[in-house]
Amino acid sequence: MSSATVLTEVVFLSPADGGRQQPPVLTSSTYRPHVVVQDRQVRQARVRDGNVVDEEYLGVTFLEGPKELRFGEPAKILLRLNYPNVDYSSLCVGASFTVREGAKVVGHGIVLETGGAG
């Protein structure tokens, strides 16, 4: 699924809610977190055996979105699915997800549309 995209609506968490200190900058396509398909209310990674994260992380690049993001406000953002040999089928229309920087949940969203290979 190389170069495939999904249109999402994402909300970034404020520092008080456990999120980033500053919203990410989306103007250069360099923001490359992971997403985990799950309920948007999740705020902590699922860990087993003390330190092993037990979730499926999907690598994405935030391609297009507002020039300025605000904590707590929904923003439409286009994501590129980074890896050709990873199954991204769980990122279907209506799927909810959390945005991860390592094990830290920094935002959440929902898939609005799926696109083809670009």
User: Are 104 and 18 contacting, i.e. CB atoms less than 8 angstroms apart?
Assistant: yes
Q: Which residue has the tokens 């037990």?
A: 54
pLDDT band at residue 117, thresholds of 50, 70 and 90?
Answer: low
- The top-level CATH class assigned to 5-114 is mainly beta
**More confident position, 73 or 102:** 73
- With a cut of 80, say whether residue 87 has pLDDT above it: yes
CA distance 14 to 78: 21
Q: What is the mean pLDDT of residues 39-66?
A: 84
Q: What are phi and psi of 67, to 5 degrees?
A: -65, -30
Q: Where are the domains of the chain?
A: 5-114
The model's pTM is 0.89
Residue 112 pLDDT more than 60?
A: yes
